[in-house]
Amino acid sequence: MKRAAIRWFVAIVGVCIAMDTIPRERFPVPGFQDWLHRQLDRLGLSQGSWPLFAPNPVLNNGLVVAEVTDRKGDSATWSSIDWAQADPWVKFIRFRHMNYLQRLPRNSIAAGDFADYLLRAIPEREKATPSVRWSVENEMLPPVELDAPMREVRLYHYRDSMVLGEGVAGVDAPLPPQSQTVWSTQIGFLARRPREP
Amino acid sequence: MKAFDRFLFESGNAQILPVLRIGFAILILVQSLVLLPDVAYWFSDQGVLSTQSARRLAGSQKWSMFFLVEGEAWLAYFGVISLFVHGLLLGLGVYSRVQLAAIFLWLVSFQHRMPLIHDGEDTVFRLFAFFLMFLPLDASYSLTGFLSGKPNEQVADEQLWGLRLIQIEMTAIYASTFLSKLAGETWQNGTALWFVSRMNDNYGRLIPSEWFDSHWISQIGSYGTLAIEAFLPIGLWIPRLRWIAIMLGLALHLGIELSMNLFLFEWVMILGLLSFVPSLKPRTVATRRQTVVQE
């Protein structure tokens, strides 16, 4: 009796894992796979397909940047960690932050909440760099400290993309070495949060 | 049916159980310690995602302990400290099944409350916690065994069927990633690792990205990765090829660990690979003869 139960259990779990893990585009009935995934999700047992660096590696290089205005109208800029400059230890202990910032630009609900958080957290918990100001005589003025609470936060994604050659006569251009890789930055708007009265 | 029974009940390796238990416990401890400073930031309404938004992202089918209490930071601290304590008790071998049940509960809760910080490795952690529950992990090198006067209790092969669940999971992962990569242009033309080395966020440890400026290194790495991932789902199940497969899998994961920052992903995968390690018990002449007769 006990053996029979184990046989059934292993067979069912094994088949469910296999079906849930097959890449969606290769599964004959994607609708059934979606249904199965939802049922496994309910149990906390979903696996899903495994697209690590697949079908192609996805570059998430970039920054999340917030433009902040305080209650007097002075502005400042908050910026996420620049992972390209961070050392491996920081990347290890702040790994969750890296995951979060990679996914934030693709999730409008989370982006809105993050802007809300910055509205509450700057300047006490999150540091923002006050913007440079100019006088009427075109002289640089020293930045002023932000005066809480913040009046508005605008959130942007600065995404770095590689500029690759087109190639000639159907032959792909050779990929450039690291030192000669050219990057271009695209700025995408994520969310705006004014302080509610 | 006999073959299936042999597969489930007669071919496990009990020697690997303490390695899996202690290894998994160490990874849980590291996870919880890294989470601890940011608990309120990730899992409470004081942080970056409100409970209301987390519920919207999770949909109706996902559950979490954090959905029971509205955004309170104390519950998040309680959860992470609990995870640490259960991990510690698991490592010591104190009622391991209970610890794993609690770890599973908290991992699901954390992952559903804040999906944006979790990735594939967390899925593996969650499923391993579930599968390990079906193994007699306290049988050796455990405090429970030591206190009950049975420090190294004999485990019957019949009790080791839970290892098969971990092995099936590992096989499914390698097969899935191989099939997904097959469709990718960069994997087909051998430039995938060149692009991986340009991931400024994840890349950057001991292997410099400049190595992949060389086209042939990028090709060897890309095609080598594909070949290993194609071989593992088969090689791990064939007794004669198993050690080769385990070694290739280890080389793959250690190579990634040396070059990329993927937190504990490589280590949990290495733990999964260890579930395939065959028994190292020296076979007696009698059992060897028996095997020959059976063959």
**Cβ atoms A70, A76 nearer than 8 A:** yes
Chain A CB contacts of B218 below 8 Å: 175
Measured CA to CA, the distance from residue A66 to residue A69 in angstroms comes to 10
How many beta carbons lie within 10 A of that of residue B140, not counting itself? 20
The residue among B291 and A24 whose pLDDT is bigger is: A24
Measured CA to CA, the distance from residue A49 to residue A18 in angstroms comes to 9
CA distance, residue A135 to nearest chain B CA (Å): 37
Residue-level pLDDT at A176: 87
Q: Can you say whether residue A119 is alpha, beta or left, with left for phi > 0 and alpha for psi between -120 and 50 degrees? A: alpha
Q: Is B166 on the interface with A (CB under 8 A)?
A: no
DSSP-derived secondary structure letter, A145: P
pLDDT over 90 at A187, yes or no: yes
The dihedral through the CA atoms of B204, B207, B208, B214 has a sign that is negative
pLDDT over 80 at B283, yes or no: no
For A31-72, the pLDDT digits (tens) are 999 999 999 999 999 988 887 889 999 988 999 999 999 998
pLDDT over 50 at B286, yes or no: no
For B145-170, the pLDDT digits (tens) are 999 998 888 888 889 999 999 999 99
Size of interface A-B (CB pairs under 8 A): 185
Q: Can you say whether residue B71 is alpha, beta or left, with left for phi > 0 and alpha for psi between -120 and 50 degrees? A: left
* Three-state DSSP string of chain B: CHHHHHHHHCCCCHHHHHHHHHHHHHHHHHHHHHHHHHHHHHHCCCCCCCHHHHHHHHCCCCCCHHHCCCCCHHHHHHHHHHHHHHHHHHHHCCCHHHHHHHHHHHHHHHHHHCHHHCCHHHHHHHHHHHHHCCCCCCCECCHHHHHCCCCECCCCHHHHCHHHHHHHHHHHHHHHHHHHHHCCHHHHHCCHHHHHCCCCCCECCCCCHHHHHCHHHHHHHHHHHHHHHHHHHHHCCCHHHHHHHHHHHHHHHHHHHHHECCCCHHHHHHHHHHCCCCCCCCCCHHHHHHHHHHC
List A160's β-bridge partners, or say none. Answer: A185
CA distances from B23 to A145, A166, B258 (A): 49, 48, 19
Measured CA to CA, the distance from residue B9 to residue B134 in angstroms comes to 13
* Chain B residue closest in CA terms to A25: B180
Measured CA to CA, the distance from residue B163 to residue B171 in angstroms comes to 12
Mean pLDDT of chain B: 92
Chain B CB contacts of A83 below 8 Å: 200-202
Residue-level pLDDT at A100: 97
For B100-141, the pLDDT digits (tens) are 999 999 999 999 999 999 999 999 999 999 999 999 999 999
Highest mean pLDDT among A101-105, B7-11, B151-155: A101-105
Instruction: Tell me which residue in A38, A51, A60 faces B199 most closely, judged by beta carbons.
Output: A60
- What's the half-sphere exposure (Cβ side, CA atoms, 13 Å) at B21? 31
* Chain A residue closest in CA terms to B172: A18
Measured CA to CA, the distance from residue B163 to residue B131 in angstroms comes to 8
Instruction: Tell me which residue in A7, A57, A112 faces B199 most closely, judged by beta carbons.
Output: A57
Average pLDDT over residues B217-239: 97
* Chain B residue closest in CA terms to A12: B165
Res. A93 pLDDT band, cuts 50 70 90: very high
Please answer yes or no on whether A55 and B180 come within 8 Å at the CB atom. yes
DSSP-derived secondary structure letter, A78: E
Q: Which residue has the tokens 């969310």?
A: A191
Using CB atoms and an 8 Å cut-off, which of residues 220-259 of chain B contact chain A? none
Chain B CB contacts of A25 below 8 Å: 183
Average pLDDT over residues B253-280: 95
For B36-54, the pLDDT digits (tens) are 999 999 999 999 999 999 9
Instruction: Tell me which residue in A21, A51, A57 faces B172 most closely, judged by beta carbons.
Output: A21
CA distance, residue A41 to nearest chain B CA (Å): 6
CA distance, residue B67 to nearest chain A CA (Å): 14
Q: Is A59 on the interface with B (CB under 8 A)?
A: yes
Please answer yes or no on whether A95 and B261 come within 8 Å at the CB atom. yes
Chain B CB contacts of A53 below 8 Å: 181, 192, 196
